Structure 1
Amino acid sequence: MTTVSTSTTKPDMKLFWACFIALVATSFVFGVRANTMVQLQDAFNLSEQQKGNIGGAGMWPFAISIIFFSLIIDRIGYKLVALFAIACHTISLVLTVQATGYSSFYWATLLIAIANGSVEAFVNPVVATMFPREKAKWLNILHAGWPAGLALGALSTVLLEGQNWQTKYSMCFIPLVIYAILTLPRMFPVNERVAAGVSYRDMLREVGGVGFFILGSLLYFAIMQMAGKEVSLASSALMGVVIGIAAFIYTRSPGNWLFLVVLITIGPLATTELGTDGWMPDLLTLNGPGADFPNFATWIFVYVSTIMTVLRFYAGPIVHRFSPIGLLVIGTVIAITGLLMLSHSVGWAILGASTVYALGKTFLWSTTLGMTSEQFPKGGALTLNGVSAVGVLFLGVLGSPYIGYQQDLAMEKKLSSSENAALYAQVKGEPKKGMFGLTPTLDQEKIQALPPAEQKQLEAVQATTKRSAFTTIAILPTFMLVCYLGLFFWFRSRGGYKPVEIGAGH
């Protein structure tokens, strides 16, 4: 595989923009899916948990491909992985627009996630290698591509208002074609770890036995779920122990403790950002200004994503001013505030709450990647991409389905009350089996058949229930804040935050 060393050449900005547009392509489909979920629910008669399962299928297979390629990408080269991503994206989008029900759409979504993971597997280490002295800055700029794709995907659904969901999904081919054209002629750099002569075992030592236990547990759960097998958290933990022990025997390391702290915070972070992104249009549809402003929830989605895109492009001075860990502390506090505001906001007040939420979450994911690349350079592609893998595994396996499950339970509790009991009897669906047990459902066909007055009553109940989900989500960044404060004071005790140099014997 043809490569080029960045030690003797200036960064190839055409390669950087190829990586940027590839990331736009991955999130474009996410934005389309989030803003067509109501259409999909009507078309396929989905329960809230089935919607959560689709959201999960759009995330956790990402981790399978990113972990797999992170273990071998230094040997096979970045470009081969890029070509695989292009092929996967093409096939998965064709299958998506041809889906006829929940099952076929679920599997097409799963394949899209594998393609997305392949993109993430090469873009992060490529950019970190291209800019070894400004990793946090350029990884933040790279990840401006994620909210940019979200905004463009959501905007395309507004422009195609009235069209079927297949037409809206067809727009996903546009960024795919662009990044394919940009990527094919480019030459890719040699990874920083490889160029420095750090061994493969030393790379694995950064993750260690405990890190592989976390990765293994979540990955086993995801693979069994993908195979349609029943799996428990206990059996997944047992498999994680086996994988962790094997990794410890080989590496003789439990893992870099600082990296392990990052791993346990990335799952809640992923659910705070990506989980909320996926649910926001649905959660806000019933709480906005209503008929006075059509597509209000989608416009809020675009607005939040645009704020993130712009701010990430100017991340350099902000990261320099506060340091990555300081920025994580500040961002988490603001994100908690924004989520609590969203849980109590209706109508135009949502605009202000969404602004606060956007300001809070903007730098969380990208700054975590920047900090990982700066603190664990010996971990190469594995530590950098392993963080992303754990985040999406947690979100896909537990976070997104759990948000949906809690909404189903809250809806049943609210509708079972005496003032809504008669209404509930009219719309109650058959319980559906999920990972958290039998899930109560509402029958979408029965809902559509309700008289206007009773539809309005149901919408009022749904609005309150869905809005309360933001309070549930806010618990996650609260946990993150405790961890980040601990790291902040630890770095401070050592003279402040400083990037680790790969040859510094760290």
Structure 2
Amino acid sequence: MAKVAEPGKSPGEGAVAAHRSVLFVACFAALVATSFAFIIRILCMDAWQVGFGLSETQKGEIFGAGMWPFGLSIVLFSLVIDKIGYGKSMIFAFACHALSALLLITAKDYWWLYAGSILNGLAAGTVEAVINPAIASAYPKQKTKMLTILHAGWPAGMVFAGIPILLIDMTWQVKVAIIFIPVVIYGLLLLKAKFPVSERVVAGVSYREMLAEPGAIGCLIVVYMICMELNRVFRLENLTQNGSITDLLPSLPFTIAIVVITLAYFAYTRSLGRPMYILLLFVMILLATTELGIDSWVSDLMKKPMGELGLPGGLLLVYMQIIMMVLRFCIGPIERALKPLGVLFSCAVLAAIGLFFLSQAAGVTILIAATVYGIGKTFFWPVTLGLCAERFPRGGALTLNAVSGCGMLGVGILGSQLLGYWQDTNIDRKLLASNKEAHARLMAGEEKRSVFGHYKSLDQRKVNEISDKLALFAKREGADEAKLTQDPMYQTLVRNAYDHLVRKAGDVEEKSFDAMNKALADAGAFITKDEQAVVAKDQALLDEVITNSKRSVMGRVATLPAIMAACYLGLILYFMSKGGYKAIDLMAEKGGH
């Protein structure tokens, strides 16, 4: 079992100093395992859809089941991790990782996949809740450097799992089993690893003082994110849906919970929070949206030019992960020269430039713009963690992990809404300019409202009708009807098309394959070759408009890292006025008392 260093010894001294390399490798392997599980679930999703007859909605639910437990567990574990201990928490993460993989490999239906994904999310959040404060405490003089190198484990996992899965033909069960490689490695290393006592605990900082660092405002932000995510998971309606600011509040019970918890937090801590930390929480939402929100868009833009090079489009993401992995290992001299805020400012500028040129580039030149963007976002996440560890050590695991949780939850709650609004308004304008008749036919008639403004969106039922008819035609053309009905891929297409085109709202009755197939035939979903040519033109128009819209939105997304750069520059100037940036050393403060 993982051991804990004796209390009273400063992090990095005694037994911890002798064994911290083992500790670091164990934490690195745990993050690699988390990354393996993330990318493998994504790459297995299509196979699961065919094998288990999943609808698109169910695919989204399974993916989401691996995300929301992460945001919850990383924050909640941070509140109690010093009581539970790093070692016991990592044993819990190991058990969740192993059980998740077993459930996925032996899955019988949707619920096995869903349960396995929840366990995977819990494992990921627990790993992050442990490794960040553990490494910050083990390397008190090199927090930013070692946290950044540690987080090279995320892109490393994407690369080492992604390349063989993309290039080697294997069953999805074998793909999932690959997760056991890093899981077993970090499990064995845990037997030898000695975790440090938290820097906060060693310095004698009380629990109340820890909570006072983020304060009531920090509590409000994080609890709001958690309640909004739970509101989504339980499919509850927001407080209002009228385009006002209250649309951003969850259902009444969760809104009351936010108010009560925040007031109780303030009554206990008597602190509103550190202004710089509150600023970093807000900036983290922009950061996460910039880093995570548009990865799939970049891949979509690169499909055609990558195809011209004879390469699968998915390799672009692997290429960008290689950039991140290599550069994160090289953080030492960069951080010494620029300090954390200088690194973040430079990255924000590069990301803004890369996104702007992605909105203008075409063909293979998109690869150059994507490279600049990839370099720009390389240090965002880990250096922000390093900055929090250096400036808010009194907050211990809480200030370190709450910023990660805020980013992960914020990109889904706020960032995705903003990106969606920009995308919808761009599609509306571009489709109207390209083809007025198609615009009138394919856009939803009713104008919608959001906190970002009024907009019109594509009629998703009509969009699904186009893609479903083409997919069914491609599968049915020239095929033997008897053999076709036994094809799992065709059965999945029929099931999805039935849900999109025939099933009415509120209808949850299970239908037989024959009944769904007949209903689609009656609805005119099985088109002729002449009809296919007409429908294909609509699909080509939509593909062009949506792709060009994503390219245009990239230019608007560039404003997010530009705002981040302005915030970082403001902090740099602030510290210059105070004599320069310095990390806070709790042990030095303790010795000076």
Query: With structure 1 as the length reference, what TM-score do the two structures score?
Result: 0.87
1:320 aligns with 2:336: yes
Equivalent AA in structure 2 for residue 4 of structure 1: A
Q: 1:424 to 1:292 in 2, by over 3 A?
A: farther
Matches within 5 A, 1:374-393: 374-393=390-409
Asked whether 1:288 is paired with 2:305, we answer yes
2:563 pairs, out of 451, 456, 479, with 479
Deviation at 1:7, TM superposition (A): 2.7
Alignment match, 1:230: 237
Report the alpha carbon displacement of residue 415 of structure 1 after superposing the two structures with TM. Answer: 5.0
Structure 2: runs of 5 or more not aligned: 7-11, 240-247, 445-449, 474-531
| Aligned position for 2:213 | 206
Partner of 2:14: 8
CA distance in 2, matches of 1:183, 1:267: 33
Amino acid across the alignment from 2:406: V
Alpha-carbon contact 1:414-1:420 (below 8 Å) kept: no
Q: How many Å apart are 1:99 and its aligned residue?
A: 7.5
Q: What residue is the counterpart of 1:445 in the other structure?
A: 468
- Counterpart of 1:288, as a letter, is P
For 1:82 and 1:357, locate their aligned partners in 2 and report how far apart those are by CA, in whole Å.
34
- Greater CA drift, 130-139 or 53-62: 53-62
Question: Residues 202-281 of structure 1: matches in 2 within 5 Å?
Answer: 202-232=209-239, 233-235=248-250, 239-277=257-295, 279-281=297-299
User: By how many angstroms is 1:104 displaced?
Assistant: 6.9
- Residues 384 and 453 of structure 1: is their aligned pair in 2 closer, same or farther, counting only changes over 3 Å? same
Return closer, same or farther for 1:181/1:469 CA change in 2, 3 Å cut-off: farther
1:333, 1:157 → 2: CA distance?
A: 34
> Which residue of 1 is the match for residue 380 of structure 2?
364
Amino acid at match of 1:215: V
Q: Of 468, 473, 492, which aligns to 2:552? A: 468
Conservation of the 8 A alpha-carbon contact between 2:152 and 2:325 = yes
Shift of 1:24: 1.2
The answer on 1:120 being equivalent to 2:119 is: no
Q: 1:196 aligns with which of 196, 203, 209?
A: 203
The structure showing larger relative contact order (alpha-carbon pairs under 8 Å, at least 6 residues apart) is 1
Distance 1:130 1:66, change over 3 A: same
Deviation at residue 256 of structure 1 after TM alignment: 1.3
The answer to whether the aligner puts 1:31 opposite 2:19 as a matched pair is no
Q: Deviations 1:32-76 (Å, cap 9, x if unpaired)?
A: 4555667778874537xx877766554332121011111111011
Within 2, Cα distance between the matches of 1:37 and 1:423?
33
Q: Which of 335, 338, 344 is residue 354 of structure 2 equivalent to?
A: 338
Aligned residue in 2 for 1:175: 182
- Number of aligned residues: 500
Displacement after TM superposition at 1:90 (Å):
2.6
The answer to which of 370-379 and 1-10 deviates more is: 1-10
Give the C-alpha shift of residue 209 in structure 1.
0.8
Percent of aligned positions that are identical: 42
Taking the aligned partners of 2:417 and 2:62, their CA distance within structure 1 comes to 9
**Does residue 62 in structure 1 map to residue 70 in structure 2?**
yes
**CA shift for structure 1 position 8:** 1.9
Q: Secondary structure at the match of 2:140?
A: coil
- Structure 1 gap segments, 5+ residues each: 429-433
Measure, in 2, the Cα distance between the counterparts of 1:426 and 1:417.
14
| Corresponding letter in the other structure for 1:343 | S
Does the 8 A contact of 2:390 with 2:584 survive in 1?
yes
Change (3 A) 1:41 1:463: farther
Larger of the two Rg values belongs to structure: 2
Q: Distance in 1 between matches of 2:437 and 2:93?
A: 50
Question: Which stretch has the larger CA shift, 300-309 or 437-446?
Answer: 437-446
Partner residue in 2 for 1:431: none
Residue by residue over 1:151-176, the C-alpha shift from the partner in whole angstroms, topping out at 9 and shown as x without a partner, is 22332331235x56565444333322
The 1:286–1:464 alpha-carbon spacing in structure 2 relative to 1, beyond 3 Å, is farther
TM-align CA RMSD: 3.6
Partner Cα distance (1:466, 1:104) in 2? 35
Q: Is the 8 A contact 2:74 2:125 kept in 1?
A: yes
Structure 2 residue matching 1:323: 3-state secondary structure: helix
5 Å matches for 1:391-430?
A: 391-400=407-416, 403=419, 407=423, 410-411=426-427, 414-415=430-431, 419=435, 421=437
**2:525: which partner in 1?**
none
Superposition deviation, residue 96 in structure 1: 4.3
**Retained in 1: the 8 A contact 2:209–2:395?**
yes
In structure 1, what is the Cα distance between the partners aligned to 2:210 and 2:422? 39
Q: For residues 278 and 59 of structure 1, do their structure 2 counterparts lie closer, same or farther at Cα, with a shift above 3 Å needed? A: farther
1:12 alignment partner, SS class: helix
* Separation (CA, whole Å) in 1 of partners of 2:205 and 2:263: 23
1:90–1:416: structure 2 CA closer, same or farther, 3 Å change rule?
Answer: farther
